[in-house]
Amino acid sequence: MDALDRIKENTERLLKEIPAEVTLLAAAKTRTPEEVRAAWEAGIRCFGHNYVQEAQVMLPQIDFRAEWHMIGHLQRNKADLAVSLFDLMETVDSPRLARALEKYCAQQEKVLPVFIEVNSGREENKDGALPEAVDELAAVIGALPHLKLQGLMTMGPLTGDEELSRPYFKTTCEIFERIKKENSEVRWLSMGMSHSYLTAIEEGANLVRIGTALFGPRK
C-alpha cells in the first residue's frame, strides 16, 4: 500500500469512528497537495493550516472545493493575507487581532467566521485568551460587523497521555456552553488532536483537528 492509499484508509477509518455530528478537520501542516487530495477523495471537506505562508503556497495548487481553517497562531502583520486565504479563523485570542481582522475583512468586503482560542490550561508558552478574558473578547468580536463568532478552540497539553487533556477540554466546554447561551451563532467547539480526539469528543467537541493519525508521521 502506498502513502496515498494509506491516507485514504486512515480517513475512512476515522470517519467511521467519529460520530456523524463531529466534523473531522485534516491538519495539513507540512503535507503535500497530493496528500490533501487523498484525504478529500476519501471524504474530508474541512482542512486546516498552521502557517499563513505555507497555505499561501498550497492553496493555489488545490483544484477542489474545501473549507480552510487557520488553526495556528496568527500574527497581526499577516492578518491581511490570512483573510484572503481562509474561510474561518480558529485562533482569535485578543481584541487587537480581532480588530486587525475586521480592518482587512472590511477592505476585502468579506464576513469572516471566527473562533476564540482559549488557553484553558493557563500555560505561559501557549497562545489563547485566558478563561476569564473570553467573555470580554466575545463582546469585542460581537461589535465588529465583518466578524462572526461561531465557536471556541483550545489546545490540550502536547503529550501522548490524552487523560491529561481532559481538564482543559472540560474547562473550555463550560465556557462554550455559557457563551452559546448569549450568542445563538456559537455552535462549534474545536478540541482534540491525533492523541486526544476521543477524549475531546467525550467532553463535548464537535470539531477535531487531526494530522498524524490521518496523514502519518511528519517527514
Position 152, amino acid: L
Residue 95 lies in a domain: yes
Classified as helix, coil or strand, 46 is: strand
Rounded Cα distance, 91 and 70, in Å: 7
Tell me which residue range forms the domain holding 207: 3-214
Return the pLDDT at 160.
66
Residue 187 lies in a domain: yes
Residue 88, beta-bridge partner list: 69
Residue 113 lies in a domain: yes
Residue 196 lies in a domain: yes
Query: What is the domain count for the chain?
Result: 1
Are 85 and 108 in contact by the 8 Å Cβ rule? The answer is: no
Rounded Cα distance, 203 and 191, in Å: 9
Residue 7 lies in a domain: yes
Rounded Cα distance, 68 and 78, in Å: 16
Rounded Cα distance, 40 and 58, in Å: 14
Rounded Cα distance, 72 and 48, in Å: 9
Return the pLDDT at 35.
97
Rounded Cα distance, 68 and 66, in Å: 6
- Domain of 210, CATH number, reads 3.20.20.10
Return the pLDDT at 161.
78
pTM, two decimals, is 0.96
Are 71 and 25 in contact by the 8 Å Cβ rule? The answer is: yes
Return the pLDDT at 5.
96
Residue 219 lies in a domain: no
Residue 194 lies in a domain: yes
Count CB atoms within 10 A of the CB of residue 118.
Answer: 25
Q: Nearest-5° angle of CA 150, CA 215, CA 193?
A: 40
pLDDT tens digits in sequence order for the chain, 219 residues long: 699 999 999 999 999 999 999 999 999 999 999 999 999 999 999 999 999 999 999 999 999 999 999 999 999 999 999 999 999 999 999 999 999 999 999 999 999 999 999 999 888 878 899 999 999 999 999 999 999 999 999 987 776 678 889 999 999 999 999 999 999 999 999 999 999 999 999 999 999 999 999 999 987
- The torsion region of residue 4 among left (phi > 0), alpha (psi -120 to 50) and beta comes to alpha
Count CB atoms within 10 A of the CB of residue 16.
Answer: 9
**Chain centroid to CA 118: how far?**
12
